[in-house]
Structure 1
Amino acid sequence: MVRGFITGILICMSCNNTVAQQSCFARVELNKTAVYIQQPFKVTYTVLTATWFTEPLEFDNIQIPGAFIIPFTKAQPGRFTDHGKSFSGIQFYYIVFPYKAGQFAVPSLSIKATTPREGSAEAKSITIHTPSRTYIVKPVPREYPANESWMVATDVQLSEHWNKPLKELRVGDVLKQTITVDANGTLPQFIPEIALQKVDWATAYPGAPTLKDTRNETDANGARIQTTTYLLTKAGTWTMPAIKLSWWNPYAAGLYARKLPTVTLKVMDNPDLGMLTTLKDSLGALQVTTKETTHQQVWLIFGIPWYQALLYAVPLVVILLLLIRYLLKMWRMLKAARKRYVVSETYWFIKLLRAPATGPDFIRRLYQWWDRRPSAHKQASVIKTLEEQDEPVLKECFRQYEVQVYKDDAAAATTAKKLKKYFYTYRRRNKHALNKNKLPEEQQEWGK
C-alpha cells in the first residue's frame, strides 16, 4: 500500500513537470525533405510559450556535415497556433546548401528560453531540445550534360562587356573582356568558372574572379565576375567563340541555359608598332605614346587652363571639407544622444504607455520598462516590489489584469488602461529616484 502511495505521488509530479514543459516548446520544419546537390532548403524553428518571453532566446548555430549554412537568425515574434491553441512565439530560420549526395539529418538544437509557467508571473529559464529531421540529397540528374559544371539556380543572367569598341583594332591593342554571371537561389561559391577562350590570334591573361554575395532577407543570391585581358598579336578577321552556361532549375525540374553570341573582331596591321616581343614591351610603348601626346597641349577644364581651375577649386574644396566635418560632428552628437535615449527609462515608459491594451505586448513592455527603472529596493517581481512600497491599489489592479489575461477576458483591455494611469501616477511620485537611466553593461538590449 505504501509503495502504491509513493508511486502515485511520483506520477503526479511527473504530470506537473510535463505540463510545465508543454507550456514552452519548439517546432522545427523543413520546407523540403529531398533536394539536389547545391539546392537550398529552409530549416525553420518556432519557439512557443503559453505566456510570454521575458528575455531573448539563446541558441547556437546548427552544424550539418556536407553542407553550407546561412543563418537568418533575426527573430520574428508573433502569434502561432498549435493543435487549435494560440501561443506567443518567436521564429527564426536557416538556409542550408548541401554539397554531398546521401541521407543526412538536421541535428537537435538546444534553445534556452526564459518565460513564466502558465498560471504564474514568475519567469524561469528552460532549455528546449528540438527533434532532429532527416533529408535526402540527390545526385546530379542524368539529363545534365556530362561535360559542363553542375549548378542549381532559379534563374541566371549572363552578360559580357568589352573595354573598347571592337572596330578598327590594330595589332598591339589590349582588350579587356568582363563576363558577369548573376544567379538567383545559390551561393556565389557555387557558380562555375567560365572556361578561358583559347585563340591563336591573341595572348590571353585571365584575372582573379570576383565573387559577390547579393542575398536578401529571404533567399541567397550571388554573382561571379571574370575578367580576361587579350593582347592582339595577329592581323585578320577573327571570331571569339560563343559562351554557354547551363543550370538546373529544381522547381521546374529541367535544364536551362544562357548563351553569349560569337563576337567578330577585325584586327589590322600596325606598321608603327613593329614586332611584338612581350606584353610589357607593348604596353610600355602604348603608355609612352599617350603620355607624349598629352604634354603637347595644355589641359583645359571648362575652357580654362588646369592650373587656373585648380586655384578656383582649392577654396571651394576647403569650404566643402569644413562643411562635411561640421555635419559629421553634428551627426555623431545626434547619434550619441539617440543611443542614450533608447536605453533610458523615459523611452521605455513611453513604449509602455503606447503599447496595445490587449495581447502580450503590454506585459512585455511593462517588464522592459520595469527592468530599466532604477530603484534601491526594486525586485524582478512587480508584485513583490509593490508590496514592499505599500502600493495596494496598484498591486491589486495588476493582479486583476493577470487573471483576466490568463482567462482571455475581454475586460483585460479596460484594466490595462487603468494600469497605465496608475503606473503614470506611481512614476511621478517616485520621480526623484530616476537619476540613472543607463542599462548595466551585462544586460542585453531588448528589441524595439
Structure 2
Amino acid sequence: MRIDFIPLIVFVCLLFGISEGSAQNVWSSVTADKKSVFVGEPIQVSVTVYTSTWFTTGLDLGNIKVEGAFTVYFRPVSKSFVQNGQNYSGVELIYHVFPFSDDDIEFPALDIEVETPPPGGYKGVKRTVKSKPVAITVKPIPKTFQSSEWLVATNLTVSENWSVNTSEVKVGDVLQRTITRNAAWTVAELIPPTVWDSLPNVSMYPGRSTVDNNKSKTAISAQRTETLRYLFEKEGEVELPEKVYTWFNPYSKKLYKRTLKARTIKVKPNPDLGMLESVRDSLRLQQQKEVAAEEAEEEKPLTILGLSLKQFIIAVLLCLIALIIVFRIIRWLVRYLTARREAYLNSEKFYFHLVLKAMNKDEVSLKNAFYRWIDELQIEEPSVQYFVQKYGANLNINAFELKRTLTKHKLKQLRKNYFNEVRIVIKSNWINP
C-alpha cells in the first residue's frame, strides 16, 4: 500500500515556522509503492515537487538512470491540496523501475530545478530542490526457477507461425518456426530467450530475435519475436515437445503459464539427397551472417546525426571556424559601412542632396539648405547671389527667387560648373568631406 506523506511534510514545515504568511515553501518528496521486489518486478517511484504558490514552467526530468535496473518514465501529473487555508500546488513525475539483477538498488537523490514565483509575485524564480534517495531490496529468482524461465508480468500472450505446411515435409526441407511473446508491464530486455529442445535427425538454426517496447501514458508492454529453422535430415516421425512459458504476476502473487502444444511431423523420403548438404551449408552461412550482423550492431560505435564521434567533432570545429570567419566579415562590413555613412553625412554631396530635397519645400527652407551646401565649398564669398552670379551664367537663376527659377537640372549644372572651374573631376562615388 502506498503511503501519502503530504500531511506529515506540511506539518513539519509549519512546525518550523514556514507558513502561508512567511517565506515561500518549496519541497520535494520521493515515494515507492514497494520496498522489496523480485528481479524484474516493477516498482513505481513518484517524484513530487510542491510549492506554496504555483509553477511558471513545466517540470520534466526525463528518464533517470538507476544502477542495476531499467527505468521507464511515464508522465507528469498535476496535484494540489489545501492545508490550514493555504493552497499548495504540486507536480508528480511517475517512473517504473525494473531491477535486472538480485543486487539491491537505489533510486538516486536528485537536484530538481523549478521556477515558481514568491508569495505576492507573478514572475517565476529558479529554485533548486534536492530529493532524498530511495533504497529498494531486490529478492533473487526463486530456486525452483532458472533465469531462462523467470518473467515478471501482469499478462503474457504467445503465438507461433510456420513458414510452410507441417503436414507435407520431406527430407531436406526447411521449416521456419516463429514464436512471438507479448508481455504486459515489463520491458523487452527482461523477456528471457526461448530455450530450444534438441531433436534427433534434425538440425536447428536459431535466427536473430527482435525485441520492442510499447509505452503509453499509463502502461508499458514488451514483445519478443524469435525464429528457428528446422532442417529434417531423415525420414520418419519427429516429435516437437510442447513449449511452456511461465510468468509471475506481482499483484496476484501467482504463477501462470502459456503452452504451445506438442506437434508430430511426419518426414517423407526424398530421392534427391544430394541437395541436403548444400541446404545445410546455406543455413549455416545464413546463421553466421545473422550472428555477425547482431554482433556488429551491439558493437556499433557511437554516432551523432549519422556521424562518428570523430567526424562530429571535426564538423563542429569546421562550423565554429566558419562562424568566426562570417562574424569577422560581418563586423568588418559593419565598420566599413558605418565609416562610409559617417563620411557621407559630413560631405558636400550630402548637403547638395538636401538642397535637391528642399526644392519641394518653401523658399526659406530652400535658401537655408542652399546656404548650408555652399558652406562646404571653397568660394570667396559664401552667398547665394555671388555663387549664382559666378557659376550660373546662362542658367537664368534668380538668387532672390530660387523657388521659382531653380530646377534640379539647373542646380546640377551649377554644381558642375563650380567643379569644372576648380578643376575637380567628379566621380560617381565621389565624397568631399
Distance 1:82 1:229, change over 3 A: farther
Cα distance in 2, alignment partners of residues 134 and 83 from structure 1: 33
SS state at 2:66 partner: coil
Q: Which amino acid aligns with 1:189?
A: E
Cα distance in 2, alignment partners of residues 18 and 133 from structure 1: 29
Q: CA deviation at 1:274?
A: 4.7
Cα distance in 2, alignment partners of residues 40 and 147 from structure 1: 17
Cα distance in 1, alignment partners of residues 225 and 24 from structure 2: 51
For the 8 Å contact 2:155–2:184, the answer to whether it is kept is yes
Aligned counterparts, 1:339-354, within 5 A: none
1:150 paired residue number:
150
For the 8 Å contact 1:207–1:226, the answer to whether it is kept is yes
Q: CA deviation at 1:211?
A: 0.5
For the 8 Å contact 1:58–1:113, the answer to whether it is kept is no
CA RMSD of aligned residues (A): 2.8
1:352 paired residue number:
none
Q: Which amino acid aligns with 1:198?
A: S
Cα distance in 2, alignment partners of residues 38 and 84 from structure 1: 44
| Number of residue pairs aligned between Structure 1 and Structure 2 | 268
1:11 paired residue number:
none
Cα distance in 2, alignment partners of residues 99 and 19 from structure 1: 48
1:200 paired residue number:
200
Aligned counterparts, 1:44-123, within 5 A: 44-57=46-59, 59=61, 61-72=63-74, 74-81=75-82, 85-123=86-124
1:131 paired residue number:
132
Distance 1:234 1:84, change over 3 A: farther
2:42 paired residue number:
40
Q: CA deviation at 1:18?
A: 11
Q: Which amino acid aligns with 2:64?
A: I
**Could you tell me the TM-score, scaled by structure 2's length?**
0.56
Q: CA deviation at 1:218?
A: 2.1
Distance 1:269 1:178, change over 3 A: same
Cα distance in 2, alignment partners of residues 79 and 125 from structure 1: 20
Distance 1:275 1:62, change over 3 A: closer
Cα distance in 1, alignment partners of residues 191 and 234 from structure 2: 33
1:222 paired residue number:
222
Aligned counterparts, 1:3-402, within 5 A: 23-57=25-59, 59=61, 61-72=63-74, 74-81=75-82, 85-142=86-143, 144-146=144-146, 148-272=148-272, 274=274, 276-279=276-279
For the 8 Å contact 1:153–1:250, the answer to whether it is kept is yes
Q: CA deviation at 1:273?
A: 5.3
> Structure 1: 5+ residue runs without aligned partners?
1-13, 284-448
Q: CA deviation at 1:217?
A: 2.0
Q: Which amino acid aligns with 2:30?
A: V
For the 8 Å contact 2:151–2:192, the answer to whether it is kept is yes
Cα distance in 1, alignment partners of residues 105 and 145 from structure 2: 27
Q: CA deviation at 1:231?
A: 1.8
Aligned-pair identity in percent equals 34
Cα distance in 2, alignment partners of residues 41 and 268 from structure 1: 53
Q: Which amino acid aligns with 1:150?
A: W
Distance 1:202 1:145, change over 3 A: same
**Could you tell me the TM-score, scaled by structure 1's length?**
0.54
Q: Which amino acid aligns with 1:24?
A: V
Q: CA deviation at 1:121?
A: 3.0
Q: Which aligned segments of 4 or more residues in structure 1 are displaced greater than 6 angstroms?
A: 16-21
1:414 paired residue number:
none
Q: CA deviation at 1:16?
A: 7.3
Distance 1:199 1:257, change over 3 A: same
SS state at 1:278 partner: helix
Stretch deviating more after TM superposition (226-235 or 94-103)? 94-103
Q: CA deviation at 1:262?
A: 0.7
Cα distance in 2, alignment partners of residues 23 and 54 from structure 1: 15
SS state at 1:277 partner: helix
Distance 1:262 1:130, change over 3 A: same
Cα distance in 2, alignment partners of residues 69 and 21 from structure 1: 36
Cα distance in 2, alignment partners of residues 19 and 130 from structure 1: 25
Q: CA deviation at 1:272?
A: 4.6
For the 8 Å contact 1:60–1:109, the answer to whether it is kept is no
Cα distance in 2, alignment partners of residues 93 and 166 from structure 1: 48
Q: CA deviation at 1:20?
A: 6.2
Q: CA deviation at 1:127?
A: 0.9
2:337 paired residue number:
none
For the 8 Å contact 1:48–1:80, the answer to whether it is kept is no
Q: CA deviation at 1:197?
A: 2.7
For the 8 Å contact 1:60–1:110, the answer to whether it is kept is no
For the 8 Å contact 1:62–1:109, the answer to whether it is kept is no
Q: Which amino acid aligns with 1:218?
A: T
Q: CA deviation at 1:216?
A: 2.5
Distance 1:186 1:202, change over 3 A: same
Q: CA deviation at 1:21?
A: 6.3
Q: Which amino acid aligns with 1:118?
A: P
Q: CA deviation at 1:178?
A: 0.4
Q: CA deviation at 1:168?
A: 2.4
SS state at 2:189 partner: helix
Q: CA deviation at 1:263?
A: 0.6
Q: Which amino acid aligns with 2:255?
A: L
For the 8 Å contact 1:150–1:247, the answer to whether it is kept is yes
Distance 1:147 1:24, change over 3 A: closer
Which whole-Å deviations, capped at 9, do the CAs of 1:123-173 have from their partners, x for residues lacking one? 32111112222221112234x334853221111112211111111221122
